């Protein structure tokens, strides 16, 4: 049951008088309940058979499905850790491209005889200590993300999608760190903040025609010929 009134209009959320749920799980609360229950059972069955790839591919809440998998795994022969956020796993593995299954495999190789729960807590403390060292107030300056970045690639490769993350990496890195995932809720939070910054004119889009030169792109200045007078005037566009 919903604990509070729905938070405005969200395209991916369905509501009724009592409940809120994601539209992808069904058109009614009953359908959504049945879908979620079925997904939970799929996770439990998959981890019981050691099929982590099936869990990876399951379109279900990321943190929830891996938390369930950790709880229901064979704790005499564990294969998962109590760390569910992909960004944190990638930090621990020092690899920004791996998925959950690969990350768990890498980290479990170093577990030894330490229980999975305790080992996971050790990794959390280790990573938090690294972050604390990075935030040492004695540092003279903090490394800032490069401001001049170009996202390139053919149409449909995600340039516009990643623009949101790149902008927030500069303007609101704390928010990005808290919601850095592909979950619909996180993307909605990031997009709302992005749109807010656009309205405040802290972010602006400029479309460049193919005929623009490099100088036009960098300086925003181009020569304009006054045909009758054959004189050159410079204008800032």
Of 96, 116, 140, at which residue does a domain stop? 140
Residue 210 covered by a domain: no
Judge if 34 and 89 occupy the same domain: no
Decide if 198 contacts 204 (C-beta within 8 A): yes
Residue 124 covered by a domain: yes
Segment among 4-13, 118-127, 176-185 with least mean pLDDT: 4-13
Judge if 87 and 115 occupy the same domain: yes
Question: Cα–Cα distances in Å, from 231 out to 215, 225, 226, 234?
Answer: 20, 6, 5, 10
Predicted confidence (pLDDT) at residue 2 exceeds the cutoff of 60: no
Residue 97 covered by a domain: yes
What is the band of 92 on the pLDDT scale with cuts at 50, 70, 90? very high
* Helix spans in 109-156 (H): 116-134
Predicted confidence (pLDDT) at residue 8 exceeds the cutoff of 70: no
Tell me, what's the pLDDT at 168?
86
Mean pLDDT estimate for the chain: 79
Residue 41 covered by a domain: yes
What is the band of 191 on the pLDDT scale with cuts at 50, 70, 90? confident
Segment among 14-18, 62-66, 153-157 with least mean pLDDT: 153-157
Residue 83 covered by a domain: yes
Tell me, what's the pLDDT at 182?
72
Return d(Cα 124, Cα 136) in angstroms, integer: 18
Predicted confidence (pLDDT) at residue 232 exceeds the cutoff of 70: no
Judge if 125 and 86 occupy the same domain: yes
The count of domains in the chain is 2
Residue 24 covered by a domain: yes
Return d(Cα 81, Cα 108) in angstroms, integer: 8
Residue 128 covered by a domain: yes
Predicted confidence (pLDDT) at residue 70 exceeds the cutoff of 50: yes
105-111 long-range CB contacts below 8 Å, 24 or more apart? 105/79, 107/81, 107/83, 108/78, 108/79, 108/80, 108/81, 111/78
Of 33, 59, 85, at which residue does a domain stop? 59
Tell me, what's the pLDDT at 64?
93
Question: Cα–Cα distances in Å, from 135 out to 35, 52, 125, 177, 211?
Answer: 43, 35, 15, 15, 46
For residues 61-80, average pLDDT:
94
The domain containing residue 83 runs over which residues? 74-140
Of 87, 108, 140, at which residue does a domain stop? 140
Residue 84 covered by a domain: yes
Tell me, what's the pLDDT at 178?
79
pTM listed for this prediction = 0.56
What is the band of 53 on the pLDDT scale with cuts at 50, 70, 90? very high
């Amino acid at each position: 049951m919903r604990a509070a009134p729905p938070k405005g209009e969200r395209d991916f959320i369905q509501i009724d008088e009592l409940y809120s749920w994601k539209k992808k799980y069904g058109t009614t609360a009953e359908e959504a309940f049945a879908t979620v229950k079925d997904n939970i059972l799929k996770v439990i069955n998959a981890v019981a058979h050691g099929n982590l790839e099936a869990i990876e591919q399951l379109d279900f809440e990321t943190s929830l499905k891996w938390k369930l998998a950790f709880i229901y795994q064979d704790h005499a022969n564990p294969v998962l850790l109590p760390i569910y956020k992909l960004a944190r796993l990638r930090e621990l593995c020092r690899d920004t491209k791996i998925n959950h299954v690969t990350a768990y495999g890498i980290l479990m190789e170093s577990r030894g005889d330490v229980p999975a729960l305790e080992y996971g807590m050790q990794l959390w403390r280790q990573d938090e200590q690294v972050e604390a060292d990075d935030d040492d107030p004695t540092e003279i300056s903090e490394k800032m993300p490069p401001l001049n970045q170009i996202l390139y690639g053919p149409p449909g490769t995600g340039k516009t999608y990643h623009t949101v993350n790149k902008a927030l990496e500069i303007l609101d890195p704390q928010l990005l760190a808290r919601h850095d995932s592909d979950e619909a809720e996180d993307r909605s939070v990031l997009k709302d903040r992005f749109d807010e910054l656009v309205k405040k004119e802290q972010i602006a889009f400029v479309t460049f025609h193919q005929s623009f030169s490099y100088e036009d792109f960098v300086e925003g200045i181009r020569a304009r010929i006054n045909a009758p007078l054959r004189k050159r005037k410079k204008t800032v566009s």
